[in-house]
Amino acid sequence: MLDLLLAEGGGTATTLSRDLPVTRQAVAKHLEVLHRAGMVDARPSGRERIYQVSRAQLERAVAQLSSVTAVWDARLQRIKRIAEAIQRGADEGAAPRD
């Protein structure tokens, strides 16, 4: 939904639901969750609300996710090195097969 909002420059629950495989009501609920989380801004337009991605909040979220990714990449690399060391030890200690 964020991708669609970015591509379209914004939209209402009605306009977005035309391009998504869910109902207008589901889109409206999702947009409200995104709005409460600060990921989208909303402004009234008649009986509907026009939603746009909050670029500042999106940039903060991307930065935070990048930080988490870096931490997990380092942890996974450490686990990989440990597993490889264990495997080398097991391979070196294995009896030769005839």
DSSP states of 8-27: HT-B-HHHHHTTSSS-HHHH
User: Nearest CA to 47 among 26, 63, 24?
Assistant: 24
**Predicted pLDDT of residue 91:** 85
Could you give the count of Cα atoms lying within 13 Å of 72 in the half-sphere of its Cβ?
6
40 strand-pairing partners: 53
Block means of pLDDT (10 residues each) for the chain, 98 residues, are: 94 95 96 96 94 93 93 96 92 67
- How many angstroms separate the CA atoms of 6 and 28, rounded? 17
**Predicted pLDDT of residue 42:** 96
> Any idea how long the chain is?
98
Q: How much is the pTM? A: 0.67
